[in-house]
Amino acid sequence: MSLPETELAVFMERLRESGIKLTHQRMEIFKEVASRMDHPDAASVYERVRERVPTISLDTVYRTLWMLKEAGLITTLGPAHDRLRFDANTAPHHHFVCTICGKTEDFYCDAFNSLNVPQEVNAIGVVERAQVELRGLCNACAKEETK
Amino acid sequence: MSLPETELAVFMERLRESGIKLTHQRMEIFKEVASRMDHPDAASVYERVRERVPTISLDTVYRTLWMLKEAGLITTLGPAHDRLRFDANTAPHHHFVCTICGKTEDFYCDAFNSLNVPQEVNAIGVVERAQVELRGLCNACAKEETK
DNA sequence: TTATTAAACAGGAATCATTCTTATTTAGTA
DNA sequence: TACTAAATAAGAATGATTCCTGTTTAATAA
Ligand SMILES: [Mn+2]
Ligand SMILES: [Mn+2]
Ligand SMILES: [Zn+2]
Ligand SMILES: [Zn+2]
């Protein structure tokens, strides 16, 4: 609900140092997404912000959310970006996901196959499967980067 | 590339025991997705299968992939469901994802924050972040289930 | 083998999330 | 207060996925 003063200050400072304009819309969108712990989608952020800024457009919400991600102030869930992807590997395994190109590679690790989940999680639901997702730069994208 | 005889047998048996018809299309789609380790999207499966079954439709590919998921023969990547979702929680944390309703909840676990990734992964790329993703049934959906 | 029929299919239309285009507005600066 | 590049709103476009409908087919039994 309430947003710590410091978070807002960090947001404003981050924009200033990047030469990005601090608009009314951006302020409201950041306050909305930063105050929610339920991993909202863009439409949900849009609906809520609209109560305070009735003329805001969905496009502005998307643009702002991507900008916030670029600035490292928020992240996206999942292998990010575009389409549904399928996996026929039924053996226990884990994934490395490239944050640039989205390439997703399997890897195997016995230690990761037998993680024991904290008590805390029982209050949420029943775990059926545990997977580790590593995010980073794949070698191909790292090579691109150095130019 | 090549698909072990047993995988195909399991596939055929799984369909039979569920009373699902074993069609030419389903056979080819399963063989395609099961032979690939690159987590293809539906369009990619479609393109490849089309070389062997020129009249196949994209709709059939989608229907079949969902059916295979239902049968437990494949999985989907990410928190599944449809839309992009955003997360403004910048503290190190992990996720529980409900496989029914898609609800995604944060949880915290020091042990998970300091996983050490296997050597193997260095051959793929540079890891920037590691997150554990637990999949299962949330309490609300579990209650629905029992009826 | 042939007939029967519910299930599955192909093709095209529809939907829906996301992105693009463009004319208008505004934050930052002087 | 005036200037200007950046940001916005609105609506059109795109693209992935799903739905609709008439046709085909796998499975079963005569
Ligand atoms: Mn995999
Ligand atoms: Mn989270
Ligand atoms: Zn990459
Ligand atoms: Zn649920």
Distances (CA, A) of A110 to A92, A107, A134: 9, 10, 15
Options 3.40.980.10, 3.40.50.300, 3.40.50.10140, 3.30.1490.190; CATH of A94-145: 3.30.1490.190
Question: What's the mean per-residue pLDDT of chain A?
Answer: 90
Q: Is the pLDDT of residue B81 over 60?
A: no
Q: Which nucleotides of C are covered by protein (CB under 7 A)?
A: 7-12, 17-21, 26-28
**Is 80 exceeded by the pLDDT of residue B70?**
yes
Neighbours of B61 (CB within 10 A): 26
Give tens-digit pLDDT for A20-39.
999 999 999 999 999 998 99
Residues B41-69 have a mean pLDDT of 95
- pLDDT at A16 exceeding the cut of 60: yes
- Mark yes or no for CB contact B86/A128 under 8 Å: no
Contacts of A72 in chain B (CB under 8 A): 90
Cα-to-centroid distance, B64 and ligand 2 (Å): 32
Cα Rg for chain B, rounded, in angstroms?
19
Which residues on B lie below 8 Å from A107 (Cβ)?
A: 118, 120-121, 124
Residue-level pLDDT at A82: 67
Cβ pair A26, A66 in contact under 8 A: no
* pLDDT the model gives residue A81: 58
> pLDDT at position B147, please?
75
pLDDT tens digit string along B107-128?
999 999 999 999 999 999 999 9
pLDDT for res B6 = 86
The pLDDT of residue A62 is above 90:
yes
Identify the pLDDT of residue B113. Answer: 95
Give the number of the ligand closest to the Cα of residue B145.
4
What per-residue confidence (pLDDT) applies to A5? 75
CATH topology (fold) of A5-70: Arc Repressor Mutant, subunit A (1.10.10)
Interface size between A and B, measured as CB pairs under 8 A: 213
Band of residue A4 on the pLDDT scale cut at 50, 70, 90? confident
Do B5-70 and B94-145 agree at the fold level?
Answer: no
Secondary structure in 3-state letters for chain A: CCCCHHHHHHHHHHHHHHCCCCCHHHHHHHHHHHCCCCCCCHHHHHHHHHHHCCCCCHHHHHHHHHHHHHCCCCEECCCCCCCCCEECCCCCCEEEEECCCCCEEEECCHHHHCCCCCHHHHHCEEEEEEEEEEEEEEHHHHHHHCC
Put simply, the chain B residues between 1 and 40 with a CB less than 8 A from any chain A CB are 33-40
- Are the Cβ atoms of B88 and A104 closer than 8 angstroms? no
Whether residue A90 lies within 8 A of chain B, CB to CB, comes out as yes
Does the CB of A83 sit below 7 A from strand C?
no
Task: Determine the average pLDDT of the residues in A90-101.
Answer: 88
Per-residue pLDDT tens for B17-46?
Answer: 999 999 999 999 999 999 998 999 999 999
Inter-CA distances, B12 with A6, B16, B42, Å: 59, 6, 21
**Helix (H) or strand (E) segment spanning residue B138:** strand B125-138
Domain positions in chain A are: 5-70, 94-145
